[in-house]
Amino acid sequence: MDEGLIQVQAMAVRVACLRMTAQQLKALHDSVEFASCLPARSQWDRKAAAHAEIFRLLADAADDPALAPLLGSAAGSVHHLMLTVGRAADGMIISSHRRLLAHLRAGNADEAALEMEKHLRGLQYMGRLTGCSA
């Protein structure tokens, strides 16, 4: 994951926060809760996919045709990175997604974008420790 992808995700979160409907926010909340409830120990592949779903939902909320292709591929990259890093990242991912939701609910686009940047940089760092180059 490179710096450009991190910046695109942060920009998408900022845009999504400004355009997000109550229904989209509920879908994000439900997605985070679903991912949180899955067992990491025995179902990490499934849980990582559920965690990555938030990126697709944010892309839908951003509703930006220029960002859509980049965001779609980013979800796949983040999913691969989560699989590589493994279930040790589960708590960090859940906490970050919950903080992100709180910022989105408050309508704080800058804090939501910053949370996404921190989240992706944390995953990127963990990926480097495992030797992942995603």
Domain count, the chain: 1
Tokens of residue 18, six digits: 């400004």
The answer on pLDDT for 78 being more than 80 is: yes
Mean pLDDT of 82-91: 91
Query: The domain that contains 86 carries what CATH number?
Result: 1.20.120.530
What backbone phi and psi angles, to 5 degrees, belong to 132?
-75, 140
Q: Which domain holds residue 61?
A: 3-130
- How far apart (Å, rounded) are the C-alpha atoms in residues 96 and 77? 18
- How far apart (Å, rounded) are the C-alpha atoms in residues 69 and 32? 23
pLDDT tier for residue 41 given thresholds of 50, 70 and 90: confident
Q: Which of 131, 7, 3 is nearest to 67 (CA)?
A: 7
Q: Taking the CB of residue 60, how many other CB atoms lie within 10 A of it?
A: 16
